Structure 1
Amino acid sequence: MRITQLAIYPVKSLGGIALDDARLTTEGLAWDRRWMVVDDVGRFVTQRQLPAMASIRVSLENDALVLAHPGMAPLRVALSDRQQERLSVYVWEDRCDALDEGIDARDWLAAVLGDLRGSRLRLVRFAPEHRRRVEPHHLAAGEVAHTGFADGYPVLVASMASLAELNRRLAAKGLAPVPMSCFRPNIVIEGAEPFAEDGWHALGAADGRWRLGLRKPCQRCKITTVDQQSGEIPVPGEPLRTLVEMNPRLAPGGYFGQNAIPLAGRGARLAVGDTLVASPAAS
């Protein structure tokens, strides 16, 4: 097996950045989900409410986060520390400390996305000293893991063979294939059987530089139906409906990919082409 794609999503639910290599941190790949859009009361806002968020392109320069959208001057957000308003924000039920990126970011988001049911949108940064723990009931005994503004886990792993099987099912319905971008993974692998990842306990570099623990199948939502280039929904309900039909689990829902935590290799670099080894979950 090997890594065939790497990506980060610096701003939760905005466009991703494809990478040739990435640094592993205790909270996932460096710069992944370090910013987020929130409403007036600090609740996280995603493509679930505003699919057009997918159409905002994101890049990282040496000194700035840059957001771009057709017809708008880019928004540049300095990476350096500044005097920023501190506020509490919420991802699901988790409260996080965050820093407000200011009025220019609010005005830019308003021009591109409008508001959300009358609430203005803010861009916030994960407070660097804050620690958000991963839910413990899916971790192995003694494990502790942290994440940023991701839904719940620091790394998402997906498989090209699993995507091919999903697209085979879609083709049988007369539907167009979907790209991997619909699932917004960090690490994409090839060389395994479809959905083999659902039976793995760990995945790592063949030379031992780094290792991830695969701890929870990723239950998918309506974001999988959003075209990640245009922000539009080409076929309402798909491919989510087909994933639900394919689900072999007792729990309802559609699943694709594995939520993972770093086990070893903080500071190591992952690269496209890295050879991988997996260890199975205990039976």
Structure 2
Amino acid sequence: MRVIQIRRYPVKSMLGEVVEAADVGERGLAGDRLWAVRDPDGKFGSGKNTRRFRRMPGLFGLRAYAGEPAVVELPDGRRFAADDPDGHRAVGDLLGRTVTLAPESGVPHHDEGPVSVITTAALRRLTELAGGEPDGSGVDPLRFRANLLIDVPGSGFPEDDWPGGELRIGPDLVLRPVRALTRCVMIDMAQERAGERNDLLKTLADRHALTFGVYATVERPGRVAFGDAVIPRPR
């Protein structure tokens, strides 16, 4: 088992970046989900409506890069620092609403936990259940906006057995999987190369209790890098 993809999303619900390595601390990957789009009511932009979040179509047309502060790239190639009022206005114009970009303060911008993990085995199983992408490839991992994609042989949901145990990654990092990640309509939305679908969420609801992947807390901080070995320790 090895790490074959590392992703972070410096602004919640925007497109993010693939990195070769990242430091991982108590709140997760360095630079991940440190900012969020916020409307005048104080709700954060998302692909869904909840008590905390407001659905804002168009966020997947924006890309964010980690930095101090994060940098937001618009579809026309313009870039703004996340704390630039001109950038806030440009993002608002694109979304058709008044917004600002807010740094994380008391409440984390993560949905459920600091580090999210999916496996290639689970992607193969979901492809078997729902079919792959139009180009003939399997279900695209970017749909799940996970921090870590772990290569696991075979087909199934091996991560279902991880909560309560440990994941030892590379020389130092230790994660503690907490529970399965409940999914929402965002996995069927078009983003980057993955087109719109209407079947993945229904398939997970019917066949896997609406969950895919797990979220984990950080038991021991460390660095994760592409190719790192992953050793699960059962609970």
The TM-score with structure 1 as length reference comes to 0.73
Separation (CA, whole Å) in 2 of partners of 1:206 and 1:37: 34
Matched, 1:257 2:217: no
The residue type paired with residue 124 of structure 2 is: A
The residue type paired with residue 260 of structure 1 is: A
Tell me, what secondary structure is at the counterpart of 2:214? strand
Shift of 1:54: 1.1
Separation (CA, whole Å) in 1 of partners of 2:28 and 2:102: 19
The residue type paired with residue 55 of structure 1 is: G
Q: Deviations over 1:187-213 (max 9, x none)?
A: 110125521111012111254x11101
Shift of 1:55: 1.6
After superposing on structure 2, the runs of 4+ consecutive aligned residues of structure 1 that deviate more than 3 Å are 174-177
**Gap change, CA 1:182 and 1:51, over 3 Å in 2:** farther
Tell me, what secondary structure is at the counterpart of 1:178? coil
Matched, 1:37 2:69: no
Q: Where does residue 203 of structure 1 map in the other structure?
A: 167
Separation (CA, whole Å) in 1 of partners of 2:120 and 2:80: 34
**Contact (CA 8 Å) 1:34, 1:126: kept in 2 or not?**
yes
Matched, 1:274 2:228: yes
**Gap change, CA 1:122 and 1:206, over 3 Å in 2:** closer
Which deviates the most, 181-190 or 44-53?
44-53
Tell me, what secondary structure is at the counterpart of 2:15? coil
Separation (CA, whole Å) in 2 of partners of 1:54 and 1:165: 26
Q: Where does residue 103 of structure 2 map in the other structure?
A: 125
**Contact (CA 8 Å) 1:51, 1:226: kept in 2 or not?**
no
**Gap change, CA 1:206 and 1:270, over 3 Å in 2:** closer
Mapping for residues 156-195 of structure 1, pairs under 5 Å: 156-171=116-131, 177-193=138-154, 194-195=156-157
The residue type paired with residue 145 of structure 2 is: R
Shift of 1:39: 1.4
Shift of 1:71: 2.7
**Contact (CA 8 Å) 1:12, 1:36: kept in 2 or not?**
yes
The residue type paired with residue 203 of structure 1 is: L
Separation (CA, whole Å) in 1 of partners of 2:77 and 2:203: 37
The residue type paired with residue 140 of structure 2 is: P
Shift of 1:233: 6.1
Matched, 1:113 2:95: yes
Q: Aligned Cα RMSD in Å? A: 2.2
The total of aligned residue pairs comes to 224
Q: Where does residue 139 of structure 1 map in the other structure?
A: none
Matched, 1:66 2:30: no
Asked which structure has the greater CA Rg, the reply is: 1
Unmatched segments (≥5 aa) in structure 2: 49-54
Identity of aligned residues (%): 27
Q: Deviations over 1:94-144 (max 9, x none)?
A: xxxxxxx363233111121112xxxx22210113xx4x4xxxxxxxxxxxx
Shift of 1:70: 2.3
Tell me, what secondary structure is at the counterpart of 1:22? strand
Separation (CA, whole Å) in 2 of partners of 1:123 and 1:41: 13
Separation (CA, whole Å) in 2 of partners of 1:153 and 1:60: 19
Separation (CA, whole Å) in 2 of partners of 1:15 and 1:195: 26
The residue type paired with residue 81 of structure 2 is: R
Q: Deviations over 1:17-37 (max 9, x none)?
A: 101000011100001110001
The residue type paired with residue 203 of structure 2 is: T
Tell me, what secondary structure is at the counterpart of 1:105? helix
Unmatched segments (≥5 aa) in structure 1: 78-100, 133-147, 248-252
Shift of 1:50: 2.4
